[in-house]
A and B are shown apart, each in its own frame.
Chain A
Amino acid sequence: MTISRITQAWPSVIVFPDLAWNRSPFAAPLQSITAKHRIGWVTNRPDRTLEDAPPCITPLSLADCDHVDWSKATAIVLHPYWAPFLLPRRPRLLGFCTSGQSQPGGTDEHADKWRDRLSGEASFVLTSSEPYYLDLAFRRDGVFVMDGADDTSDWFALQALLWAADGTDPLPLARLQQQRREAAYRERIAVAGDNAVISFYRSVYLYLLGDASQAQKELLCAFEQAVLSGDEHSLSDIYRFRSAIQTALGQTAEAAMTYETTAVTDQERTNAAQLRLRLEAGQTDIAAAMLLRWNDDHRGAVARLEKLLQTETAEEEASDAAGAATAERTAFIQQLLIDSLLQAGRIRQANAHLAEWRTFKVRDRCEYELLRGTARLYEGRRLKAVRAFLRAAELRHDAIGALSELAHIDAAAKRLAEGESSHA
């Protein structure tokens, strides 16, 4: 039974599901929203998908979605394959809930990629995996975790959903959750004593909260514990992060030395040499951004690079004598910015910068078209998206995979609406 357009208002919270209600891992937190809001559940087969669902959960067919006023609706997405369908509709808020784990069995090759993409585009993300949570927190703001580790921490996550249901961006709650989680780790250390893993996690939270100096102390503790327990990867897994912390503290030269100390592979050694060159040339800000990137802090890197780019462009415009060196620097900053935006899943922003970037290399032009296509897809300009993918495929045969992928996702979204598994 679908909602009549004329007689009733649409629910203000609409869920795009992954599984039937009685099997979805996110049913429990969603249930708590129902105290205040009606929830729409997108399905063509409510008999299959909403068995045992409470009465305040109302089915919406795919066709109904065309009539919803999305500017007044919050979408909660439980499967990444809804992205091409939903993003162009521009809901007032888009919350993505994900376990963060790779699909079991590995049969669904595109799911991880689209999970990361939707994680970048959503207004906020809620995950049940702490490692994935931290990974995302290094790429964007507005990330929440609900993992049962701590009641207060979970409460913040639930509040985020409730705020979103009300139409309020839950962004401010994210930092509060981080503070709670850092405190929880501090308590564990006080009780259980030194432990490499716990200290490392606490250090990461302190870094995210901006307390770099305490983060460094905790990190060195973690490092000592790891070495004592014979961890063979402590240098790259733990110690290297010190270079991010030192960068945050403004100690870029020290950070570069720390990074170089941990550089063992050829690529890492090349990176370290590049850092030295940039520092010798006085390009401390660029070196800082590179260090953050190599520590996967793309959120931090983007913030710095955007500011840098503004300064560089302003300088270039002010001075007529902008030479080749300035041009090289600006192009380099732009390249780093685009890459970090991509790593952060911010396709549309990356695409906007790419428009100004000229390249002749076929591989780059192909990547450019693929990116352009994806951005168009998010905007709902499907034909332009397909054309961009075709141009990419004309340049390189293997880029045709982007079209197969889109066909696959379209089919999967339909299956999800039918209450079937997302992969055939």
Chain B
Amino acid sequence: MRTVSILTHSYVDGYNRKFNRLFGGGLERYIRELCSVIRAAGWKPVVHQLSYFESFRTEYEGTEVIGYTYELGQTASAFEAMAEQAEGLLVYASCLWHPIRYRPGSIGICHGINWDHGSIASGTKDGVAAAFRNALRSLDRVVSVDSHFQTYARSVCEFDDADRIVLIPNSVDTKHFTPLTPDSGGSLVRPARRRGLRVLIPRRLSYERGVITMMLAADELLAEHGGLVVEFAGELVEGTSIADAFRLWHDCHPDRNRIEQRAYAMDEVQQAYARADIAVIPTVFSEGTSLACLEAMSSGLPVVATNVGGLNDLVIDRLNGLLVPPNSAAIAGAIRELILDKPLRRKLGKLGRETALSFDISRWRARWTAVLEAQLGVR
């Protein structure tokens, strides 16, 4: 049986030493799906990851997971060490912005651009460019989850194989995330008619994901619309300045009973989409193909998204969503328009759902299978 080894900095929760569960981020979900693709094709997936504590060996959903201790700041050499122990085809699933010496014949994955902010130093950006030039030279293939990294790589790196970069956009399980229709059946039931609409922000609360901009936008809208509810559906990490900011704002807000915040487990999050009328993805910077945006669109929700990173691949302004620059005034304006315009909401929701269908997970699985097959055939 052919082995495909995935190298990553995180899979099972090595941050909190909970080796029997995954860390709840997009990268980990991605790798989990990829393992499933590998198994379905009859190959054997093995995940090699970094551990902040001791090294370990465990199993998750039938996949062997090996954890390696490493020294902070020595990521590149840690990946090189993992590669030495790994068998079969190597997939470098993260950290491509580090100067890693890649094993020939391998594949890499870039999950999007996270250095696209004006305040990040040009020295840092130059370093990132150098690292990607190295990656594009040394890896056989680099899979990009959005068109933005693809464009970036083409415009910054030198390579002679036009297929060096492969675009496999992120996906959504359109059978799982479905819009509510009268005949959809199942356990999802639209709650009784409410006074006002519910605006959902399905992201972890962080600066780059736009929580500050959203708080400012919410302020305006809550004052204008008496029944409006704003739900921040994401993790709020205690002790951070974002947590301080959110709590201060919430505690002194006269409409705090219409501001909700909670974290959902991965399998509960569709409930949030089901209850909502509008979804907002207010990213400021650092966005590949947003899974949350795809889920919201797949659930038939009209989305307001910012024109950052991979969100531009999903949303065409006024066709299948509203696309605005990442500032609170523009976001508030877009949400306001949707609140007042039910037909527009319906239209965007419908076309959003159709858009999501072309990002269905089956297509993603098929493309990945093809890439892996080609690579394994070559070796």
Contact A391 B207 (CB under 8 A): no
* Smallest beta-carbon distance B29→chain A, Å: 27
CA distance A410 to B242 in the complex (A): 16
Once bound together, how far apart are the Cα atoms of A401 and B327, in whole Å?
A: 20
* Contact A404/B244 with A386-B249, A396-B119, A397-B119 known, Cβ cut-off 8 Å: yes
Q: Which of B122-130, B210-218, B364-372 contacts A (4 or more CB under 8 A)?
A: B210-218
> 8 nearest interchain CB pairs?
A407-B244, A403-B245, A404-B241, A404-B244, A382-B252, A400-B241, A393-B212, A383-B252
Interface size on B, residues (CB 8 A): 19
Q: Which of B225-283 contact A (CB under 8 A)?
A: 241-242, 244-245, 247-249, 252-254
Residues of A within 8 A of B119 (CB): 396-397
Q: Is B219 an interface residue (CB 8 A)?
A: yes
Number of interface residues of A (CB under 8 A): 19
A390 close to B (CB within 8 Å): yes
Nearest chain-A residue to B216 (Cβ)? A390
Check B51 for interface membership: any CB of A closer than 8 A. no
Shortest CB-to-CB span from B218 to chain A, Å, is: 10
Q: How far is the CA of A390 from the CA of B249 in the complex (A)?
A: 9
| Chain B 145-164: CB-based contact to A (< 8 A → 1; otherwise 0) | 00000000000000000000
Between A and B, 8 residue pairs with Cβ closer than 8 Å are A386-B248, A386-B252, A390-B216, A393-B207, A394-B216, A394-B328, A396-B119, A403-B245
Q: A383-B252, A386-B252 are in contact. Are A400 and B213 (CB under 8 A)?
A: no
A391-B216, A394-B327 given; A401·B249 CB < 8 A: no
- Bound-complex Cα distance A396 to B216 (A): 14
A45 at interface (Cβ–Cβ under 8 A)? no
A390 with B215: CB separation less than 8 A? yes
When chains A and B are docked, how far (Å) is the Cα of A392 from the Cα of B213? Answer: 11
Q: Is the beta-carbon distance between B242 and A400 smaller than 8 angstroms?
A: yes
Given contact pairs A383-B252, A386-B252, A394-B328, A400 touches B216 in the complex (Cβ within 8 A):
no
Interface residues of B in 13-48 (CB under 8 A from A): none
Please state if B248 and A387 are interface contacts (CB–CB under 8 Å). Answer: no
Instruction: Select from chain B the residue with minimum beta-carbon distance to A398.
Output: B119
Chain A residues near B212 (CB, 8 Å)?
A: 390, 393-394, 400
A406 close to chain B: CB less than 8 A: yes
CA distance A396 to B117 in the complex (A): 11
A residues in contact with B213, CB < 8 Å: 394
Which residues in chain B, 44-102, are within 8 Å of chain A measured between CB atoms? Answer: none
B241 touches A403 (CB 8 A): yes
- CB-based nearest A residue for B246: A403
Per-residue 0/1 for A388-419: is the Cβ within 8 Å of any B Cβ (1 yes, 0 no)? 01110110110011011011101000000000
Closest to A408 in B: B244
- Output the nearest chain A residue to B329 by Cβ-Cβ distance: A394
* Partner of B241 from A383, A394, A396, A401 at Cβ < 8 Å: A401
Does B207 contact A400, Cβ atoms closer than 8 Å? yes
- With A and B bound together, what is the CA distance between A407 and B248 in angstroms? 7
Q: A386-B245, A393-B245, A400-B242 are in contact. List 20 more A-B contacts (CB 8 A).
A: A383-B252, A383-B253, A386-B248, A386-B252, A389-B245, A390-B216, A390-B249, A393-B207, A394-B213, A394-B216, A394-B327, A396-B119, A403-B245, A403-B248, A404-B244, A404-B245, A407-B245, A407-B248, A408-B244, A410-B248
Q: How far is the CA of A403 from the CA of B247 in the complex (A)?
A: 10
- What CA separation (Å) do A136 and B215 show in the bound complex? 39
Interface of chain A residues 358 through 376 with chain B (CB within 8 A): none
CA distance A397 to B253 in the complex (A): 22
Complex Cα spacing A390 to B247, Å: 12
Residues of B within 8 A of A407 (CB): 244-245, 247-248
Chain A residue contacts of B248, Cβ below 8 A: 386, 403, 406-407, 410
| Nearest CB of A to B223, in Å | 11
Q: Which residue of B lies closest to A397 (CB)?
A: B207
Complex Cα spacing A397 to B219, Å: 19
By the criterion CB–CB under 8 Å, are A387 and B219 in contact? yes
Most buried by B among A391, A396, A407: A407
Which residues of A have CB within 8 Å of B327? Answer: 394
Within the assembled complex, what's the spacing in Å between the Cα atoms of A393 and B211? 11
Across-interface contacts of B242 in A (CB, < 8 A): 400
Residues in chain B near residue A400, CB distance under 8 A: 207, 212, 241-242, 245
Chain B residues with CB below 8 A from A391, complex form: 216, 328
Expressed in whole angstroms, the minimum distance between the Cβ of B241 and any Cβ of chain A is 4
Instruction: Kindly report which residue of chain B lies nearest to residue A391, judged by CB atoms.
Output: B216
Shortest distance from the beta carbon of B364 to any chain A beta carbon, whole Å? 33
Instruction: Among B212, B249, B327, find the residue whose CB has the most chain A CB atoms closer than 10 A.
Output: B212
Give the docked Cα–Cα distance between A389 and B252 (Å): 14
Complex Cα–Cα for A24 and B244 (A): 31
Q: How far is the CB of A384 from chain B (nearest CB, A)?
A: 10
Which residues of chain B come closer than 8 Å to A404, judged between CB atoms? 241, 244-245
Q: Residue on B with the closest CB to A381?
A: B252
Whole-angstrom CA separation of A400 from B249 in the bound complex: 12
A406 to B241, CA, bound (A): 11
Residues of A within 8 A of B253 (CB): 383
Do B252 and A390 touch (CB < 8 A)?
no
A383 touches B207 (CB 8 A): no
With a cutoff of 8 Å between Cβ atoms, the chain A residues found around residue B219 in the complex are: 387
**Cα–Cα, bound, A382→B248 (Å):** 9
- Nearest A-chain residue to B245, judged by Cβ: A403
* Cα–Cα, bound, A404→B241 (Å): 5
Give the residues in chain A near B249, CB-CB below 8 Å: 386, 390
Kindly provide the distance from the CB of B242 to the nearest chain A CB, expressed in whole angstroms.
Answer: 7
Report the bound CA distance from A391 to B213 in whole Å. Answer: 8
